[in-house]
Amino acid sequence: MTEPLVPFCTNSNALFGTQVQSKYAQTKSWLWTCAASTGFGRDMDSEIDKAKVISGLFGLITAKLEDAHEASVTGQGQRVGDEATCQAIVDIRSAQDEIAILSSAIELVGGLAAR
């Protein structure tokens, strides 16, 4: 286990890993549910519309960037306690990993990963 960048955040790495796994599972589940129930990314012939899927994934990335922004703003407060600072770090790291996962999905859907 690596040392946390902020010495008082002794649990941040363990908490971070657990949150990323949980959020990844939630995101994957949500994508499948959305695709199955709403026809997300499908046209009239039931073929996947790559542009719609990629657009939706970029929308999810935008939401994760907004989450990271909110955590960053929280951390900027002059009277933020240690616990809130640690949580902000965990939230930013989690958003970063989720964005990486969504970016990889865009590469796969778009056929860009092999290039």
Q: Alpha-carbon distance 89 to 94, whole Å?
A: 8
Q: Alpha-carbon distance 16 to 76, whole Å?
A: 20
| Paired strand residues for 42 | 48
Per-residue pLDDT, 48: 73
Domain boundaries, the chain: 12-110
- 3 state SS of 18: helix
Are the CB atoms for 102 and 60 separated by under 8 Å? Answer: yes
Phi then psi for 44, rounded to 5 degrees? -65, -25
For each of the chain's 115 residues, which pLDDT tens digit applies?
A: 455 555 556 555 555 555 556 666 666 665 656 555 555 555 545 567 888 999 999 999 999 999 999 999 999 988 889 899 999 999 999 999 999 999 999 998 888 765 5
